[in-house]
Copies of this chain bind each other. A is one copy, B any other.
Amino acid sequence: MLRAGGIEAGGTKFVCGIGSGPDDVELIEIPTARPSETVQRVVAFFRQQVPVPAIGIGSFGPIDPDPKSATFGYITSTPKLDWKNFDLAGAVGRELDTKIAFDTDVNAAALAEYRWGAARELDTFLYLTVGTGLGGGGMVNGRLMHGRTHPEMGHMRVPHDRVRDPFPGNCPYHGDCLEGLAAAPAIQDRWGQPSHALPAEHPAWDLEAHYLALGIANLVCALSPQRIVLGGGVMRRTQLYPMIVEKLAALLQGYIDAPAIVPPHLGDRAGMLGAIALAQLALD
């Protein structure tokens, strides 16, 4: 496999790597600052390396991933105001004079899990991450999911029983969408302490598994994925996996068989490795 560059552009850090796959990659992490400063440090890393024929970027979003669009490569309506309408692919591509592939961070991670990880030999699967946000990407019929723009799976609406859970949700756009109820900041706001500080027997986890099972049930109904790869910081609480599996089966009621729900194989490197895979695809 060709060596290529990969950038996982996240809200708190950028992970940049050069390599051909999980067993052959050099990487650095750069804290996310203002766009010009961050891009400068990214560019400096790649200039120190042997030039590569393409660099892939898996970015936080929303983004414009459509190569035919005038704003291809832009981060678009993000609440991070410094980055709103920033031409990330253009800035990197101009400085390094190289071909750029561009997609969401979650589609990049999905591609890495497909190529090297937990979704090998599948053609229709989802990659979900539950951390500071809740997002998803994946493949349908062997191709990464795109459409009018790209999925925003965390913003689905699910049933919210305000007697059981009076927390109103904290998504600045939608209040109690799935992200507003179940991402790490929602857990923190609801219980008054960060999710990693909550003990295993805290009722937070049953509620968390309930919301994630609801979101996954809806994605199963919408897409019939062969597998769900479910990761992100919140899922480091591995007790959640069997809880979600049990609740998902109860929600689907045997009318639809539930697909397997598995952790990612590539851990924190999935986004960056997927960005390398995006670049490799662009060179095929």
Interface residues of A, Cβ cutoff 8 Å to B? 62, 77, 124-125, 136, 140-141, 143, 145-160, 173-174, 214, 217-226, 251-257, 259
Which residues of chain B are within 8 angstroms of A220 by Cβ–Cβ distance? 152
Bound: A226/B147 CA distance, A: 6
Is the beta-carbon distance between A218 and B224 smaller than 8 angstroms?
A: no
Which residues of chain B are within 8 angstroms of A253 by Cβ–Cβ distance? 173-174
Is the beta-carbon distance between B148 and A222 smaller than 8 angstroms?
A: no
Bound: A150/B158 CA distance, A: 21
Is the beta-carbon distance between A221 and B155 smaller than 8 angstroms?
A: yes
Which residues of chain B are within 8 angstroms of A173 by Cβ–Cβ distance? 253-255
Is the beta-carbon distance between B255 and A155 smaller than 8 angstroms?
A: yes
Is the beta-carbon distance between A221 and B124 smaller than 8 angstroms?
A: no
Chain B nearest CB, measured from A273 CB (Å): 22
Chain B nearest CB, measured from A219 CB (Å): 6
Is the beta-carbon distance between A145 and B140 smaller than 8 angstroms?
A: yes
Is the beta-carbon distance between B256 and A225 smaller than 8 angstroms?
A: no
Is the beta-carbon distance between B226 and A152 smaller than 8 angstroms?
A: no
Is the beta-carbon distance between A174 and B224 smaller than 8 angstroms?
A: no
Bound: A177/B217 CA distance, A: 11
Closest 4 CB pairs of A and B: A147-B224, A124-B147, A140-B140, A173-B255
Is the beta-carbon distance between A148 and B257 smaller than 8 angstroms?
A: yes
Bound: A157/B256 CA distance, A: 14
Chain B nearest CB, measured from A32 CB (Å): 21
Which residues of chain B are within 8 angstroms of A255 by Cβ–Cβ distance? 62, 77, 152, 155, 173-174
Chain B nearest CB, measured from A220 CB (Å): 8
Is the beta-carbon distance between B156 and A159 smaller than 8 angstroms?
A: no
Contact of A225 among B148, B226, B252 (CB under 8 A): B148
Is the beta-carbon distance between B141 and A124 smaller than 8 angstroms?
A: no
Bound: A154/B257 CA distance, A: 15
Which residues of chain B are within 8 angstroms of A252 by Cβ–Cβ distance? 155
Given the contacts A124-B147, A146-B141, A159-B159, A153 and B222 also touching, CB distance less than 8 Å: yes
Residue of B nearest to A122 (CB): B147
Bound: A124/B143 CA distance, A: 12
Chain B nearest CB, measured from A105 CB (Å): 15
Bound: A146/B146 CA distance, A: 16
Given the contacts A146-B141, A158-B157, A159-B159, A256 and B62 also touching, CB distance less than 8 Å: yes
Bound: A214/B177 CA distance, A: 11
Give 20 A-B contacts (CB < 8 Å), ordered by A residue: A62-B256, A124-B147, A124-B148, A140-B141, A140-B145, A141-B143, A141-B145, A141-B146, A145-B223, A145-B224, A149-B256, A152-B221, A152-B255, A153-B222, A155-B255, A155-B256, A158-B158, A174-B251, A219-B222, A223-B223
